[in-house]
Amino acid sequence: MLVNVFGDRVRAARTLRRMKSSEVATKLGWPASKQTRLEYSERAFLDPEQLAIISSLLQFPEKYFLEPPPPPVTIDDLLFRAPVATPKKEKAYLAEFARAVGEVLEWLDGRHRLPAVKIPTLPADTSMAEAGKEVRRALSLPDDQPIPHLIHLMERAGVPVIVRGNIQRMAIHDPEDLALDAVTEKHLGYSTRVGEHADRPVTVLRANPSWERVRWTVAHELGHITLHSRGLTPDSENQASAFASELLAPASAVRKELPAHVTLASLTEVKLRWGISLGALITHLHANNLVDAERFETLRRQLYTRMNSATGRSWGRDEPGWDAREIERPRLLVTWMERCLGIAVPHAVAQMSGIWPADLVASMISGQRPKVNQPESVGPPTPKPDNVISLDRWRLREA
C-alpha cells in the first residue's frame, strides 16, 4: 500500500536540515528531477520504505510528511534586508524556520489563545514621533518613560519573539556552508507574519551577547512590523532604525535630560536610563537636531577609537555600560507550552506533537527566559540579575 506524502513537507524538512535536493535523491536512488518533482507536487504517493528513508535521512518523524503543511512563508515575506551576499538558500532557510515557528504557535493557539496582536500597522511615511507614540500606546507605556523590558511588553502585545538556536545539519560537510554561516551571522534578526491568515507577527533573533544590540534589534523589528506590513521599501532599513531609537528614547523626552555640554560620559547616563546604545543614541540626537554635526562627529570618533579596558575592544564594540543590564530574552513560547502541555521540554513537546523533531523544538525554546526564581539553565550567560543599572562603574572622565 502506498502512502500519501505532502511534497512541500519534504522540501521544508530538507531546507531546515540544509540538505541539497540532489543529496536526498541520491539516497533514494532517484534522479534529481524526481526529487524536485516530489517537492513541488502537492501530494505524492510513495512506497512506505521510501518514506522511511526520507524520514530517517531528514530526521523528521514520518507523520510530519503526512500532515497538511501550514501556509507558506516565502523569502519575500521576510521583513529584513539581508547582507547583499546572503544567498537565496540561506533566506529560504530563515523563511522555513519562521514557518515552523508559526506552525508551533498555531498548534498552541488552538489549545489556548495567544495574546491578541495589538501592534498597529501604519503607513511607511508616518513620522517617527507619531509611530513611536502609537506603538507605546499599544504596549501600554507612557510617552516619557524608559521601557523596562521591551521583549516582555512586545510579547504581551501579541508578537512572539524567538531566539534562534541551531538545528542539526544533515548535509554532507560542505565548505561553502561555512562561508554561508559567516554571512548569516551578520544579520541580527528578522520578522514575518505567520498563521492561517498571516496575521501573527513573529520576530526571530540570533542570540547576541550584547543587551544593547538585542534591545535595539527588537525595537528595529517592531519598526518593520508597524511600518512595513505591505512589504519593504528602499528606505525601510533606515526607517526601522530611526523608529527603534525613537521608540526606546523618544526625542521629546530625552531632550529634557540632556546636559548643556553633551559628552560620552553624560550620554552614558542617558543610555543606561533609556536602554539604548551610545552609538544609536548619538545618531538619534543628531537626526533630531539635538546635537550639531561637529559634536556628532567628535562623539562618534571618541566612541570608535577608545578602548574598553575590561574587554580590550573598542567602545564601538563594547560600549561603556556594556555589562550594566541583563540581556532581554523572550518567554511567551515556553509559557504557552507550559500552559497548554504542562511541560516545555523539547523531547516531550516533540513527542506530544508527533510531527516535529526534538532539536527543532529546542532551537525555538533554548533562548527563552527561564521562570523567575529558577536557576539559569539554558542560553547565554546573563551578566546581572534583573535590569540593575550600575551607573557608578561607568562614571567617566569628561572627554
Helical packing angle, 236-248 and 211-227, nearest 10°: 120
Give the nearer residue to Zn ion in terms of CB position, either 18 or 220: 220
Give the nearer residue to Zn ion in terms of CB position, either 19 or 98: 98
Q: What residue has cell string 525554546?
A: 365
- Residues from 250 through 269 that contact Zn ion (CB under 5 A): none
Q: What residue has cell string 540570533?
A: 206
Contact segment (CB under 5 A) with Zn ion among 118-126, 136-144, 180-188, 236-244 equals 236-244
Residue 189 CB, nearest approach to Zn ion (Å): 8
Residue 81 CB, nearest approach to Zn ion (Å): 5
Instruction: Note whether 227 binds Zn ion by CB under 5 A.
Output: no
CA angle 116, 119, 120 (to 5 degrees): 120
- Residues from 31 through 90 that contact Zn ion (CB under 5 A): 80
Q: What residue has cell string 523596562?
A: 148
Contact segment (CB under 5 A) with Zn ion among 91-99, 136-144, 234-242, 307-315 equals 234-242
DSSP 326: P
Displacement of CA 27 from its chain's centroid (Å): 34
Residue 235 CB, nearest approach to Zn ion (Å): 11
- Encoded one letter per residue, x for contact with Zn ion by CB under 5 A and - for no contact, window 80-109 reads x-----------------------------
Give the nearer residue to Zn ion in terms of CB position, either 90 or 318: 90
Give the nearer residue to Zn ion in terms of CB position, either 191 or 366: 191
Give the nearer residue to Zn ion in terms of CB position, either 50 or 203: 203
Helical packing angle, 264-274 and 278-287, nearest 10°: 100
Contact segment (CB under 5 A) with Zn ion among 12-20, 105-113, 232-240, 368-376 equals 232-240
Residue 245 CB, nearest approach to Zn ion (Å): 13
Residue 381 CB, nearest approach to Zn ion (Å): 27
Contact segment (CB under 5 A) with Zn ion among 57-65, 229-237, 315-323, 353-361 equals 229-237
Q: Give the interface size with Zn ion as a residue count (CB under 5 A).
A: 3
Report the alpha-carbon distance of residue 216 to residue 146 in Å, rounded.
13
Contact segment (CB under 5 A) with Zn ion among 88-96, 105-113, 230-238, 371-379 equals 230-238
Residue 7 CB, nearest approach to Zn ion (Å): 32
Burial of 196 (0-12, 13-18, 19+ CB in 10 A): exposed
Quick one: which of 170, 172, 154 has its CA closest to 14?
170
> What's the number of CA atoms in the CB half-sphere (13 Å) around residue 301?
7
What contacts 36, CB < 8 A, 6 or more positions away?
Answer: 21
- Cell numbers linked to 127: 513620522
Residue 244 CB, nearest approach to Zn ion (Å): 9
Q: What residue has cell string 502541555?
A: 341
Contact with Zn ion (CB under 5 A) among 124, 157, 214, 240: 240
Give the nearer residue to Zn ion in terms of CB position, either 80 or 322: 80
The DSSP H or E segment spanning 190 is: strand 189-194
Report the alpha-carbon distance of residue 294 to residue 296 in Å, rounded.
5
CB 106 within 8 A of CB 196: yes
- Cell numbers linked to 359: 532539536
Report the alpha-carbon distance of residue 385 to residue 395 in Å, rounded.
21
Give the nearer residue to Zn ion in terms of CB position, either 221 or 359: 221
Residue 80 CB, nearest approach to Zn ion (Å): 5
Give the nearer residue to Zn ion in terms of CB position, either 240 or 254: 240
Give the nearer residue to Zn ion in terms of CB position, either 81 or 295: 81
Contact segment (CB under 5 A) with Zn ion among 92-100, 170-178, 240-248, 337-345 equals 240-248
CB 131 within 8 A of CB 242: no
Give the nearer residue to Zn ion in terms of CB position, either 223 or 367: 223
Helices (H), 126-257: 128-138, 150-156, 175-184, 211-227, 236-248, 251-254
The residues of the shown chain that bind Zn ion, judged by CB under 5 A, are 80, 237, 240
